[in-house]
Amino acid sequence: MAEKTTIARPYAQAVLALAKEQNALQQWSEMLQFAAAVTADEEMAAIIASPRLSSEQLAGLFLDICGDKLNEHGKNMIRVLAENDRLDVLAEITVLFEIERALSEGTIEAQVVSAVELNDAQKSGITESLKKRLGRDVTLNCSVDASIVGGAIIRAGDVVIDGSVTGKLAKLATALNH
């Protein structure tokens, strides 16, 4: 996985630079997500991995599948990736692009897993606290997982705040065992 990320990083940075230059970050985000979904298809993944097609044939097939979902720059990106045998890292390119896009826009997406549904006041409080701590605008994605018993787990980038009952019990057990 680290190798794919290493390979994908320069492509993601180049796409981000182009998207900024074109003032088309959202359009590129949509194109990359669509193209990554195409590569995620089992049949397409097998075709990409197969040596039977030339890079031109593979790019042509891929672009036929994408139809009008890609602009000319997006189509050129697919051709370059196919030519360099890198279509298999399109998912990683997409993830890295989104991370870099959020950094450049001064935003971050936070995942909040709680034992019960959060009300609007709780969501607002979490958003404001994270905004102060991280210095960026925060978008919350909330989900419920009753198995954490109580509290919440918050993940925002490389920050993890485990305020769940399950997490606190695990810390207590570790402390008691040492």
How many other β-carbons are positioned within 10 Å of the β-carbon of residue 177? Answer: 6
User: In the chain, where are the structural domains located?
Assistant: 2-102, 107-177
How many other β-carbons are positioned within 10 Å of the β-carbon of residue 101? Answer: 20
pLDDT in tens, the chain (178 residues): 558 889 999 999 999 999 999 999 999 999 999 999 999 999 999 999 999 999 999 999 999 999 999 999 999 999 999 999 999 999 999 999 998 888 888 888 899 999 999 999 999 999 999 999 888 899 999 999 999 989 999 998 778 899 888 888 888 889 999 8
Q: Which CATH architecture has domain 2-102?
A: Orthogonal Bundle (1.10)
